[in-house]
A and B are shown apart, each in its own frame.
Chain A
């Protein structure tokens, strides 16, 4: 569905992503794992058109989309939910959601999406008229996700959706991601929470200083000694039964 071929991204001559290649197949959850500054967000930004790739290709459903303006990438069905629960604080929850609704147009469809909103995000459905600035951290992340879904994406790029959330809320977000996949949305997930991410993802790529150093199925990576010592070793201790 999505393929990166030797993608390089640089900012003012400094290489952030160095010939990264990866593939996401339809219906998969693929994760990019890496430390801060490894270039994870740069990869997502290149896919969604926020930055132009310096070299390499981004192929989505057989067409090259590298360097296209961000809004046309959304129209093709890729939506990025950026890190840090970015919402429009001065607008109401409903207004935050309203904007993307045009991707489908029709009023009836909008009604239907309201009922699916109620199902997926019950906390938001009761706060449609509230200013978004007043939402809690968890609600703001839910709103960012809900807004991403309003454009009916076929592929979601999620950038650290559990960042800064309590373990319980993070669990809710991960549960939601699982449900989105069941609805047929392909997901490329960037996360720091490696253990939980590998429990969720089908496959993962490990990014170090802009280069992909390791990739494989989640189960393979869980068994990889190097990864375990580098990433799981430093991650916070998890409850004894994290995956249930």
Chain B
């Protein structure tokens, strides 16, 4: 595979994390315009861990994901009373706040005679874990997809479990969920925390893939895309948002000649899908039907 293909595939993989993060919150009925903040926060935290404090990459990913998850839970607790549009605006405001803070943060440490660390608007250079260890792009891509598969398996298990039903219940009627004896506050904080961790894993990988991060990358358009992926691909299963990412980055990026019009095509696609398939390509109904087909087949075999 040439580097271009590997880069596109790696981007699909890394962006899938933030798509899954937004998807998890969409399940609970919340539209967050702020998942890019956790992606970015973790990119900085993970980058700091490996580049400034020489931790191994797994530790960097854990540090980044945990930091993102914790901040997400704090923000979640603060915005808990808000719902609908108010929640969306609060998440957007927080994400912009986080981005603006990253624009002024300057912490430099001396690593082998070179100053490394976040440098405000100039970004955070020198996250060179990959190059220092001579890890190829392809190898890193495998790491990305390994972690993505792990995340996907966890999400699919959650969806099959009672917790998955509860998250969907919060999404359809949280008062009714409360009447079932569910502590909706606790589950909501759990959901935003999980979504923060998932976005964080993606961000940590991203920092190490590009070796350089800047606050500008984590602007609101990233969060809007993350939401759109779930809405395109479908809210019936965790595979849905991945389809959304593949369509946008894989398909549209691949068709070179529409480069300049990509956002127009993407926006149009979102609009058309929202009209004809309001809950995406793989919505709950289609997933139910697919499951029925599969279980019938399994019965027939047995």
Contacts of A86 in B (CB 8 A): 173, 176
A-B contact pairs, 23 of them (CB 8 A): A50-B178, A50-B179, A69-B183, A70-B175, A71-B184, A74-B181, A86-B176, A88-B168, A88-B169, A88-B173, A88-B176, A90-B171, A91-B168, A91-B172, A99-B166, A99-B169, A99-B182, A100-B180, A100-B181, A103-B181, A129-B295, A147-B180, A151-B180
Contact residues, A185-220 vs B (CB, 8 A)? none
- A98 proximal to B (CB < 8 A): yes
- Among B168, B173, B180, B182: residue with most chain A CB under 10 A: B180
Contact residues, A40-60 vs B (CB, 8 A)? 48-50
- How far is A129 from B182 in the complex, measured between Cα atoms in Å? 22
Partner of A99, one of B165, B173, B175, B288: B165
- A131 proximal to B (CB < 8 A): yes
Contacts of A102 in B (CB 8 A): 162
| Per-residue interface assignment for chain B, residues 154 to 179, with 1 indicating a CB less than 8 Å from any chain A CB and 0 otherwise | 00000000100110110111011111
Contacts of B171 in A (CB 8 A): 90
- How far is A129 from B291 in the complex, measured between Cα atoms in Å? 9
On whether the beta carbons of A71 and B182 are closer than 8 Å, the reply is yes
- How far is A100 from B178 in the complex, measured between Cα atoms in Å? 11
Chain B, residue nearest A157 (CB): B179
Count of chain B residues with a beta carbon within 8 Å of a chain A beta carbon: 24
In whole Å, how far is B177's beta carbon from the nearest beta carbon of chain A?
A: 8
Count of chain A residues with a beta carbon within 8 Å of a chain B beta carbon: 31
- A79 proximal to B (CB < 8 A): yes
In whole Å, how far is B288's beta carbon from the nearest beta carbon of chain A?
A: 5
Contacts of B295 in A (CB 8 A): 129
On whether the beta carbons of B284 and A90 are closer than 8 Å, the reply is yes
| Per-residue interface assignment for chain B, residues 288 to 299, with 1 indicating a CB less than 8 Å from any chain A CB and 0 otherwise | 100110010000
On whether the beta carbons of B178 and A98 are closer than 8 Å, the reply is no
On whether the beta carbons of A74 and B179 are closer than 8 Å, the reply is yes
- A89 proximal to B (CB < 8 A): yes
On whether the beta carbons of B172 and A99 are closer than 8 Å, the reply is no
By a beta-carbon cutoff of 8 Å, the part of chain A in contact with chain B is: 48-50, 69-71, 74-75, 79-80, 82, 86, 88-92, 95-96, 98-103, 129-131, 133, 147, 151
- Among A95, A96, A130, A151: residue with most chain B CB under 10 A: A95
On whether the beta carbons of B180 and A90 are closer than 8 Å, the reply is no
| Per-residue interface assignment for chain B, residues 174 to 208, with 1 indicating a CB less than 8 Å from any chain A CB and 0 otherwise | 01111111111000000000000000000000000
- B285 proximal to A (CB < 8 A): yes
Given the interface pairs A131-B284, A131-B288, the reply to whether A91 lies near B181 with Cβ below 8 Å is no
Contacts of A71 in B (CB 8 A): 178, 180-184
7 additional A-B residue pairs with CB within 8 Å, beyond A50-B175, A50-B179, A129-B295: A70-B175, A74-B179, A90-B172, A90-B284, A91-B172, A131-B284, A133-B285
On whether the beta carbons of B179 and A75 are closer than 8 Å, the reply is no
- How far is A102 from B173 in the complex, measured between Cα atoms in Å? 19
- Among A99, A102, A130, A131: residue with most chain B CB under 10 A: A99
- How far is A100 from B172 in the complex, measured between Cα atoms in Å? 16
Given the interface pairs A90-B284, A91-B168, the reply to whether A99 lies near B162 with Cβ below 8 Å is yes
- How far is A94 from B101 in the complex, measured between Cα atoms in Å? 47
Given the interface pairs A91-B169, A102-B162, the reply to whether A79 lies near B291 with Cβ below 8 Å is no
Given the interface pairs A71-B184, A131-B284, the reply to whether A91 lies near B165 with Cβ below 8 Å is yes
In whole Å, how far is B105's beta carbon from the nearest beta carbon of chain A?
A: 40
Contacts of A69 in B (CB 8 A): 178, 183
Chain B, residue nearest A95 (CB): B165
Chain A, residue nearest B178 (CB): A70
Contacts of A48 in B (CB 8 A): 179
- Among A70, A86, A88, A90: residue with most chain B CB under 10 A: A90
Given the interface pairs A86-B176, A129-B292, A131-B284, the reply to whether A79 lies near B165 with Cβ below 8 Å is no
Chain A, residue nearest B175 (CB): A50
Chain A, residue nearest B185 (CB): A69
In whole Å, how far is A51's beta carbon from the nearest beta carbon of chain B?
A: 11
Contacts of B179 in A (CB 8 A): 48, 50, 70, 74, 79-80, 82
- Among A91, A96, A101, A151: residue with most chain B CB under 10 A: A91
In whole Å, how far is A167's beta carbon from the nearest beta carbon of chain B?
A: 27
Contacts of A101 in B (CB 8 A): 162
Contacts of B284 in A (CB 8 A): 90-91, 131
Chain A, residue nearest B183 (CB): A71
- How far is A102 from B162 in the complex, measured between Cα atoms in Å? 9
| Per-residue interface assignment for chain B, residues 217 to 230, with 1 indicating a CB less than 8 Å from any chain A CB and 0 otherwise | 00000000000000
In whole Å, how far is A25's beta carbon from the nearest beta carbon of chain B?
A: 24
On whether the beta carbons of A98 and B162 are closer than 8 Å, the reply is yes
On whether the beta carbons of B181 and A79 are closer than 8 Å, the reply is yes
Contacts of A147 in B (CB 8 A): 180
